[in-house]
């Protein structure tokens, strides 16, 4: 599969490696392709390339949004929303507001959510909110000393959620919990806030959640 990732930061680079390890072709989209030259040489994989946001969006049969929240709408505009139509779009973003310094606050208010806004900006795409509740390295290696965490996803399209579940399973996720349609993205984003606050309070970033049931 051809995967286009919008964004070039920590999450984008990590997920690129995950998709490469699963045998996919990946193009990262950025406003500054030249800054990734060194990273491209380090990864040295013929199935990996870098381009503009619109080139990555045109390239991908499946797309990933891995942008800082404040730049997400602009990144989508640069990528051209039409290039997302009919595609599965994995939204990893968290709507964080760092304007008052860390720890951040949520930039959206219930019942609105970043996931719903993204789906609104991409009305013809099948957006799935996923991987936003763990730190980047755990997204593709969900194995911790104390056990394996669970993944929580939300989105309007069941087939798209199935595709994301398959990808997550390939990366080692044992339990993927479907929280329902995109109106539930808010809970995933507040869940990420709990994770973020715990991280700042304890200066600890390798924690993750598991749902325990009797
Ligand atoms: N880091 C984590 O462990 C983690 C975990 C869960 C969820 N998340 C979420 O995942 C997203 C990405 O995180 P990250 O750590 O990879 O962030 P990052 O390293 O800061 O990367 C942010 C990306 O956003 C793009 N961007 C920023 N402002 C933009 C603008 N005005 N217009 C267009 N593009 C813009 C940048 O693209 P350019 O290359 O064009 O500059 C950059 O590649 C965030 O929403 C974050 O909350 C992160």
pLDDT of residue 59: 99
For residues 4 and 16, give the distance between their C-alpha atoms in angstroms, rounded to a whole number: 9
pLDDT of residue 12: 98
CA-proximal residue: ligand 1, atom 37 (nearest): 7
For residues 150 and 38, give the distance between their C-alpha atoms in angstroms, rounded to a whole number: 34
14, 53, 68, best to mutate for ligand 1 pocket (most atoms within 8 Å of CB)? 68
Query: What would the two tokens of residue 48 be?
Result: 């990996």
The reply to whether 207 falls in a domain is no
For CA atoms 22, 26, 30, 32, the dihedral sign is positive
CA of 214 to the centre of ligand 1 (A): 38
Q: Alpha helix locations (H) across the chain?
A: 10-21, 37-43, 53-59, 69-79, 114-121, 136-140, 158-170, 185-202
| pLDDT tens column, 62-96 | 999 999 999 999 999 999 999 999 999 999 999 99
The reply to whether 209 falls in a domain is no
For CA atoms 90, 188, 199, 110, the dihedral sign is positive
Q: Please state the pTM of the whole predicted model.
A: 0.98
The reply to whether 142 falls in a domain is yes
The reply to whether 43 falls in a domain is yes
The reply to whether 115 falls in a domain is yes
For residues 33-45, average pLDDT: 97
Check whether the bond before 53 is cis (ω within 30° of 0).
no
For residues 35-45, average pLDDT: 97
pLDDT of residue 157: 98
pLDDT of residue 160: 99
Residue-number span of the structural domain to which 45 is assigned: 2-202
| pLDDT tens column, 125-161 | 999 999 999 999 999 999 999 999 999 999 999 999 9
CA-proximal residue: ligand 1, atom 18 (nearest): 9
CA-proximal residue: ligand 1, atom 7 (nearest): 132
pLDDT of residue 108: 96
The reply to whether 210 falls in a domain is no
CA of 110 to the centre of ligand 1 (A): 23
Using CB atoms within 10 A of its CB, is residue 190 exposed (0-12), middle (13-18) or buried (19+)? middle
CATH number at residue 87: 3.40.50.720
CA-proximal residue: ligand 1, atom 6 (nearest): 132
pLDDT of residue 103: 95
pLDDT of residue 106: 97
The reply to whether 69 falls in a domain is yes
Distances (CA, A) of 143 to 15, 58, 88, 174, 209: 16, 33, 26, 10, 11
Query: What would the two tokens of residue 5 be?
Result: 């990732």
Domain count, the chain: 1
Q: What is the DSSP letter of 147?
A: B
For residues 43-52, average pLDDT: 98
pLDDT of residue 211: 96
The reply to whether 214 falls in a domain is no
């Amino acid at each position: 599969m051809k995967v286009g990732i919008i964004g070039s930061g920590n999450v984008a680079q990590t997920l690129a490696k995950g998709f490469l390890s699963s045998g996919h072709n990946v193009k990262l989209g950025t406003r500054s392709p030249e800054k990734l030259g060194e990273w491209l040489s380090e990864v040295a994989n013929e199935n990996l390339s870098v381009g503009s946001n619109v080139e990555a969006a045109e390239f991908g049969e499946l797309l990933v949004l891995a942008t800082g929240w404040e730049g997400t709408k602009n990144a989508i505009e640069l990528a051209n929303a039409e290039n997302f139509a009919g595609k599965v779009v994995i939204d990893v973003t968290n709507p964080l507001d760092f304007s008052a310094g860390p720890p951040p606050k949520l930039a959206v208010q219930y019942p609105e959510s970043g996931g719903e806004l993204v789906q609104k900006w991409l009305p013809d795409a099948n957006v799935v909110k996923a991987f936003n509740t763990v730190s980047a390295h755990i997204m593709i290696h969900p194995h911790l000393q104390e056990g394996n965490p669970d993944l929580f996803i939300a989105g309007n399209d069941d087939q798209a959620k199935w595709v994301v579940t398959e990808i997550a399973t390939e990366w080692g996720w044992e339990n993927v919990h479907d929280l329902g349609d995109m109106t539930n993205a808010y809970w995933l984003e507040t869940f990420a806030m709990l994770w973020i606050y715990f991280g700042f309070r304890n200066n600890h970033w390798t924690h993750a959640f598991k749902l325990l049931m009797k």
